[in-house]
Chain A
Amino acid sequence: MLDSFFVAAALTLDAPAIIPSSGESFFDWLSNSVFVSFVVSAFIIWFARQATKQLTVVPGPTQNMFEAVVQGLYDLIESIVGSHMVARAFSLLATLFIFILVSNWFALLPGVGSIGWGKDTPAGFEVLTPILRPTTADMNMTLAMACVFMVFWLYWSISEVGIKGFLDHIFGVKGGLTGFMALALIPVFLFVGVIEVVSMAFRPMSLSLRLFGNVFAGETLLSTMITLGKQLNLPDWIAYALSVTIPVPFYFLEILVGLLQATVFLLLCSVYLQLSTSHDEEEGH
């Protein structure tokens, strides 16, 4: 009786389409992580409207929490990016943070990853295409977010420091050298600039791989821990007891990792922004 409930949801690297389409059907793009991104953004929008329905000077509980989140993010970003840039960059960075955080924590709800189409295996029903799957556990989503940020980063830094300033940031002679020394070191700094460009080009990859890797590894960790009793083919009732008790600490770990990865994504994006939009007067000659 017990073995029918075992669900070994092995996550595949790419997010399969929810509706198992035979041929080229219209809903091919609706993968389970895209569906969850709709659900998550709908939840965020509903919560935001709920909090800002009637704004009172003495805030109600929802509004109070919402204000705390927005104010905290504003101060954090301002402390990194500087008061001038924060007005421009706050909306994108805060949205990225909130979306990643909510989708990471949404992934810890019971239904995600364990309900869906699958096949009967001797070890019980195995879910092959779960309906719900955390959006950040899908490389497309994290890469999309990272690329969107890089486009904005390029636009902001060029509009902030100008094309000449932007190129000077990368290839310019740094360290306040002047005169003959500067001329002598130009080829060196050109080479440094090339390395700088390579590292800038790799930033979206590292941002997206870090977020994707952490969340994907967390999902796999949880599903392995849940099915640990079954894998060690212990007797059913021990396996059932293990599958309930073992994952509990890992759920707390996942809550922390979800928050940490969202914070890291936000911090790194604002640090990258600050690096390339800092005006000359701050560097000091």
Chain B
Amino acid sequence: MPQSVTEPVLQIKNLRTHFFTDQGVVPAVDGVDLEVYPGQTLGVVGESGCGKSVTGMSAMRLVAPPGRIVDGEILLRGENLLKLSEVEMSHRRGKDLGMIFQEPMTSLDPLYPICDPLMEAVQAHRKEKMPKADAMAEAVRLLASVGIPDPERRARSYPHEMSGGMRQRIMIAVALSCRPAVLIADEPTTALDVTVQAQILSLLRDLQSETGTGILMITHNLGLVAENCHTVAVMYAGKVVEKASVQDIFKRPRHPYTQGLLRAVPRLDHPAKQPLPTIPGMVPNPLRLPVGCRFQTRCAFVTDRCRQEQPPLEAVGTGHLAACFVQPEYTASAPAHKGGA
């Protein structure tokens, strides 16, 4: 758990990012509060379409139209990024806020050798122009720091000559080139195979302990969360439904959705013949969200109150918040489903 004495380096308060489509307003992110502490990793988990990535893009202020941040605050060391002009914001990007994307295969411009984005990154946030040779030396140093062998020669290679793992290392080097206070990693290892995944994650951990960067890790991989994150926020349909330390999330999940996600993780100690428990139903249509709790249509513990009132995110333990009126005890086997009626 974060110590109460440390201030969060990035604080997202009541963030609302809505998409104004022809069919109506989609509240992709609807009142989200998150805190990233220096040197720590916050995992944001949830199904596809629950608003994880939009939250990350909102923190960078890179939400493309028709999406728009309609409300909230994004505080970087206490400074509200949403109040900055576009020019001021572009000086924060890369320098104070770094980002790694999901697809390393397309994150590098195929037309330039890989030293180019690195040099672009180290030169982008300097007042006086940096000599090309210095930028190149810095690029080679960065490549070495992410474990690229023979960095002098590799710096002049093109992206198509690199494997996915190598490219993601380069993307990390680019994102960390200016030693940002916060790194937003949007599914950084989803496109990579498992061994490379482990290498990339341990690289991120090492770099984090070196630089004290706070990481916001967006993922749907709970195993990855368990190993790499200090705190976890579970999102569902644009809202945070549970937020706790990684131990509490895995040992004492209080929200039925978190519990469902945990049960859906395949385990070696379960009988092989038994079907994997799933969460029945689908994520509700964001254009027609139900009144009350958004998880009600898929919840086994749904009550009348859940259908009328939205449960607030309330403390259920030390540093443990959950948005559920029922807060059932976690059981390894799936409960009989009675929702959706």
A-B complex is real: no
